[in-house]
Structure 1
Amino acid sequence: DLKPVGTAQAKLHALALENKPKNRYNNVLPGYLSRKEFIAAQGPLPATVNEFWRMIWEKNVQTLVMLTRCNEQGRVKCEQYWGPGTKYYEDIIVTTTSEIQLEDWTIRDFDIKNVKTTEVRSVRHFHFTAWPDHGVPETTELLISFRHLVREHMNQYSRNSPTVVHCAGVGRTGTFIAIDRLIFQIERENIVDVYGIVHDLRMHRPLMVQTEDQYVFLNQCALDIIRARTGNNVDLIYQNTAAISIYENV
């Protein structure tokens, strides 16, 4: 049912002659534009790294989430757009000031300087490394914990500016944003509607949450979050019980 959702929207800018070479995939094109909490980006290409950093600066981004490795299964999924040390991207100078490598993710801090204004800002880079392309992480707990880490930083530093989330394309990016939304839905409204969340995401960017595995994983995340909650929330309504029972039968 979700397959055609969002695909008919105008893609005027993505299809413009001067922008066509900037698309990593010719079937994953940005559509509807609006001011939201996240910017869902593709993994930068060698020719778009400068523009990627220009976007970070223009949107005053302080939280940056990367959900792919630069190389996976012998294919380049994303151009490495940071150090070590200091790198120059036209008017933006990026210096890696710290890097903490953990088993499933790496956290980096960047100082980014605008050459024209000499202003310096800080950006924290949350790089999740345990997510296979087109697949899902080994456990829901991993990604839920990572989301809490990212959200904590967003709440402190990114209340007035968007957070950039990217993988190579749309699958992992859409899944991460969907997890963030479903957690809020459970916590604030005591309901969860995985289908509705994915439908809404696809009205902003076609193909968000790209594979059946990723969609099933979202349902499993919802189930695990609900199970982890204490007795005062047992009246939570689950709006997609059929998907969960299918998953458990599998």
Structure 2
Amino acid sequence: FGLSRSVAVSVEDFEAYYKKQRADSNCGFAEEFEDLKVVGTAQSKLHALNVENKPKNRYNNVLPDSSRVKLSILHGSPSDDYINANYMPGYNSRKEFIAAQGPLPTTVNDFWRMIWEKNVQTLVMLTRCNEQGRVKCEQYWSSGTKRCDNIIVKATSEITLEDWTLRDFDIKNVKTAETRAVRQFHFTAWPDHGVPETTELLISFRHLVREHMNQYSRHSPTVVHCAGVGRTGTFIAIDRLIFQIERENTVDVFGIVHDLRMHRPLMVQTEYVFLNQCALDIIRSRTGTNVDLIYQNTAAIYENI
């Protein structure tokens, strides 16, 4: 099942295309998004629906399939290898990211085991633990030390800024005594079932994360999670979009979302138009408007701390 249609537009033509698709209450974008509805939904969910694994899923429609992340088998049970997470293609490699659900109380240990086994050093969280009175994600860290099976997670620093929080952890494998550093980038300004107030906010956050990835995660995946799929897909899509614009001089939001959905169904939800808006703002910022200043400020805040 290939692309029903790629919607690759050159950077020069994108503004005109965007205006056309936005007309009549986003009619054009709504049609594109409709074409994406079934993409990736036909894949087998055998492991996800296994009786022992079912309780490990937060939502019964967000289930990993062929690109699922497999953990080691701990207690001799085949279901030990299951976690609700998929390898996701980034711009630079086909396993550049892992998209995961927000851990449940019963899957926190598996989550840290995945971070250890896949040598993850960059962790991106795009939801608050509780939103509008509903639990979206179990808080999988504590201010001190937390033991998760054979992994000890120790919080070493926390910096709270207006729109995101940065946390550093040392994680230690009890069996081998090896310790590694993991940085969590927690974006806190994303309203539930909505989109961030400005595209610049998320674009700046992406630059911050990408800087860390380039330094520490070139050879291991970056874990991205929200509660389920929408924001995670959006973040990964923005990262790919920026590379696409910079390196290929084209924009293909449809093609990127299609590719993501072939790896994890339902990636990108209410944010489809927002992604196109991001592309437009990225293009405008390259022609010298104000976004570059925001990036510099972000870097400065970071160094001052």
Answer yes or no: same fold by TM over 0.5: yes
Helix, strand or coil: the match of 1:112? Answer: strand
- Runs of 4+ aligned structure 1 residues displaced above 2 Å come to none
Q: Which amino acid letter does the alignment assign opposite residue 274 of structure 2? A: F
- The unaligned stretches of length 5 or more in structure 1 are 232-250
What residue number does 1:98 align with?
A: 157
Per-residue deviation at 1:105?
Answer: 0.1
Q: Do the aligned residues in 2 keep the contact of 1:140 with 1:224 (CA within 8 Å)?
A: yes
Helix, strand or coil: the match of 1:124? Answer: strand
Q: How do 1:1-250 residues align onto structure 2 when only pairs under 5 Å count?
A: 1-33=35-67, 36-211=95-270, 214-230=271-287
**Count of equivalent residues:** 229
Q: Do the aligned residues in 2 keep the contact of 1:96 with 1:110 (CA within 8 Å)?
A: yes
What residue number does 1:241 align with?
A: none
- CA deviations 1:66-89 (Å, max 9, x no partner) are 000000000000000001111111
Compute the TM-score of the two structures, normalised by the length of structure 1.
Answer: 0.90
Q: Which amino acid letter does the alignment assign opposite residue 140 of structure 2? A: Y
Identity among equivalent pairs (%): 87
Helix, strand or coil: the match of 2:95? Answer: coil
Per-residue deviation at 1:132?
Answer: 1.2
Helix, strand or coil: the match of 1:12? Answer: coil
Distance 1:199 1:172 in 2: 15
Distance 1:88 1:227 in 2: 47
Per-residue deviation at 1:32?
Answer: 2.9
Per-residue deviation at 1:230?
Answer: 2.8
- The unaligned stretches of length 5 or more in structure 2 are 1-34, 68-86, 88-93, 289-305
Q: Do the aligned residues in 2 keep the contact of 1:32 with 1:203 (CA within 8 Å)?
A: no
Distance 1:32 1:135 in 2: 30
Q: Do the aligned residues in 2 keep the contact of 1:87 with 1:95 (CA within 8 Å)?
A: yes
Distance 2:278 2:239 in 1: 11
Per-residue deviation at 1:63?
Answer: 0.2
Q: Which amino acid letter does the alignment assign opposite residue 196 of structure 2? A: P
Distance 2:118 2:194 in 1: 31
Distance 1:132 1:37 in 2: 26
Helix, strand or coil: the match of 1:174? Answer: helix
Helix, strand or coil: the match of 1:107? Answer: strand
